[in-house]
């Protein structure tokens, strides 16, 4: 029985393409992710239309009819693209592909719809709907992709060894789709990923990270990362994360498995934020524990300074993984460096001074830091977790109270270097930095308030100790 989904193809793009294709005697189909998401009742803004023959003329004709002014044509790839309202529409000629072992770039030839569906990565992405008027909306499904979609299975149209060896990025995509859609990878396909994991070496790090970040941004990223671990794909690009795995026991004392702890923290963060770089903060927060691990017979396992060493590792990891080395990296580095600070406040007495220092160092990232630290509270002891979370709530309330009172977040000392030089009639020197530093410390310690007059008077006291004579009698009233 032929299934028809004409009632779901209501967007004007489909009607226009169908009319032109019929008039010109062309075979045209909407294929791939749009069809998959349509059947899953997921919103998709990307339409791929495959044409048996050249898709370039059909693209231009459709754009003219839809009054789209700009069509981007890529002659070398035989593709054309335009944007219509909220949709991205791409046209391509049906093709068949063959691969060389040293490259994922295929040798491309013109082909039939069957050839084009055969070259697709998964059966659920090989589904096509006809865009000819007489068969409009008919499903073309040679590999039972609809059944796999209904059963939640990721399967390759061809032998998985061929599919994955030809284009090893498909192994990352299999795990990404399984994670995003909460599907299972068919057993033969999963074994094939394990067998072909070393083929990932021919893929650029940028492409690997594009897929990995989509896994990290999924609702439950640990599912995907565990699959990457079990298939050995993770070992090829993220050895620092692999090194967290395992438990060592000496004298009956064991430390926790920091790999699975990290994944638990990542999932906890994912419940509260879709910020990719906050999730990277979760991935890297304990990354230096293998480096800093020591056994002390009196207290057990220690990981002293793992937060500082982890922060130093962050730029190197970002650089190797071809991740941005801009403010995003610095943000993650800050989270790694500070991730123990709120926990320390939960354990000890919460002084205003400690709160001011945390606010000053975390700045506008304090809320994200608190999400990470709250997510870092993992234990099988429910009573212990409950007690930590109650104390954590108190720290959060204290942060708000101190911030409202002292305005410490991102603050700079109210007295500038120019004012110090004017007051004492001196030029730039080491002592100016010393005075500003002491004023900042006094504010953080609560000795003086965070305002100009208090800071100026405190500056006079420091200047007198340093032997400076006041030259300007300027008085500030603010």
User: Which tens digit of pLDDT belongs to each residue from 22-42?
Assistant: 999 999 999 999 999 999 999
Q: Which of 156, 153, 175 is nearest to 166 (CA)?
A: 156
Under the banding of pLDDT at 50, 70 and 90, the label for residue 477 is: very low
CA distance 457 to 211: 57
User: For the segment 370-391, what is each residue's pLDDT rounded down to a tens digit?
Assistant: 999 989 988 766 777 777 777 7
CA R_g for the chain: 30
At residue 100 the predicted structure's pLDDT band, cuts being 50, 70 and 90, is low
Domain 6-151: what homologous superfamily? Beta Polymerase, domain 2 (3.30.460.10)
Q: How many C-beta atoms surround the C-beta of residue 182 within 10 A?
A: 12
What pTM did the predictor assign? Answer: 0.85
Q: Which residues pair with 128 in a beta bridge?
A: 31, 140
- And the tokens for 111? 């082909």
Average per-residue pLDDT for the chain: 90
Contacts of 12 (CB under 8 A, 6+ apart): 66, 84
Domain boundaries, the chain: 6-151, 161-237, 272-406, 417-465
How far apart are the C-alpha atoms of 209 and 323, rounded to whole Å? 8
Is 216 within 8 Å of 179 (Cβ atoms)?
no
Q: Do domains 6-151 and 161-237 have the same CATH topology?
A: no
Lowest mean pLDDT among 75-79, 308-312, 436-440: 75-79
CA torsion 133-136-138-142 (nearest 10°) is 70
Percent of the chain with pLDDT over 90: 63
Q: 19: alpha, beta or left, given left = phi > 0 and alpha = psi -120 to 50?
A: alpha
The CATH class for the domain spanning 161-237 reads mainly alpha
Decide: 31 and 140 in contact? Cβ < 8 Å: no
* Structural tokens at position 16: 């226009």
Residue 80: CB atoms within 10 A of its CB come to 26
Question: 104 pLDDT exceeds 70?
Answer: no
Q: Is 372 exposed, middle or buried (0-12, 13-18, 19+ CB in 10 A)?
A: buried
What per-residue confidence (pLDDT) applies to 395? 79
Q: What is the pLDDT of residues 212-225, one digit of tens each?
A: 999 999 999 999 99
Instruction: Collect contacts of 100-105 with beta carbons under 8 A, ≥24 apart.
Output: 101/165, 102/202, 103/202, 104/166, 104/167, 104/168, 104/169, 104/202, 104/203
Residue 105: DSSP 8-state:
P
């Amino acid at each position: 029985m032929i299934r028809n989904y004409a009632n779901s193809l209501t967007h004007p793009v489909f009607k226009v393409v169908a009319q032109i294709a019929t008039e010109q005697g062309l075979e045209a189909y909407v294929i791939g992710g749009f069809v998959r998401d349509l059947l899953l009742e997921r919103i998709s803004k990307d339409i791929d239309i495959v044409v048996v023959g050249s898709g370039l003329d059909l693209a231009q004709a459709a754009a003219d009819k839809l009054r789209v002014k700009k069509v981007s044509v890529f002659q070398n790839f035989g593709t054309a693209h335009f944007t219509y309202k909220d949709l991205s529409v791409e046209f391509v000629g049906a093709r068949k592909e063959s691969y060389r072992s040293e490259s994922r770039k295929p040798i491309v030839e013109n082909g039939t719809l069957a050839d084009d569906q055969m070259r697709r990565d998964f059966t659920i992405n090989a589904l096509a709907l006809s865009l000819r008027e007489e068969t409009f909306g008919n499903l073309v499904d040679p590999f039972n992709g609809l059944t796999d979609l209904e059963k939640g299975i990721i399967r390759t149209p061809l032998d998985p060894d061929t599919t994955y060896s030809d284009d090893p990025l498909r192994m990352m995509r299999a795990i990404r789709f399984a994670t995003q859609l909460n599907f299972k990878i068919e057993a033969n396909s999963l074994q094939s990923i394990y067998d072909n994991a070393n083929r990932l070496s021919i893929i650029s790090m940028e492409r690997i990270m594009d897929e990995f970040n989509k896994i990290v941004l999924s609702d439950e990223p640990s599912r995907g990362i565990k699959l990457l671990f079990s298939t050995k794909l993770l070992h090829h690009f993220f050895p620092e994360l692999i090194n967290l795995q395992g438990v060592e026991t000496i004298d009956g004392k064991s430390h926790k498995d920091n790999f699975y702890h990290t994944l638990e923290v990542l999932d906890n963060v994912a419940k509260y934020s879709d910020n990719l770089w906050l999730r990277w903060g979760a991935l890297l927060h304990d990354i230096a524990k293998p480096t800093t691990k020591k056994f002390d017979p009196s207290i057990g396992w220690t990981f002293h300074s793992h937060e500082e060493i982890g922060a130093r590792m962050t730029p190197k990891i970002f650089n190797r993984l071809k991740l941005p080395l801009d403010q995003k990296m610095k943000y993650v580095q800050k989270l790694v460096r500070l991730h123990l600070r709120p926990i320390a406040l939960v354990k000890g007495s919460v002084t205003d001074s400690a709160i001011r220092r945390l606010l000053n160092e975390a700045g506008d990232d304090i809320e994200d830091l608190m999400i990470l630290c709250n997510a870092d509270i993992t234990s099988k002891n429910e009573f212990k977790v409950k007690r930590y979370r109650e104390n954590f709530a108190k720290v959060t309330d204290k942060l708000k109270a101190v911030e409202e009172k002292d305005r410490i977040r991102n603050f700079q000392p109210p007295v500038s270097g120019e004012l110090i030089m004017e007051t004492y009639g001196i030029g730039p020197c080491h002592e100016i930095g010393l005075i500003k530093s002491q004023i900042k410390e006094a504010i953080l310690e609560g000795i003086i308030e965070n305002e100009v007059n208090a800071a100026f008077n405190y500056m006079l006291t420091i200047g007198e100790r340093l032997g400076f004579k006041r030259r300007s009698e300027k008085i500030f009233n603010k």
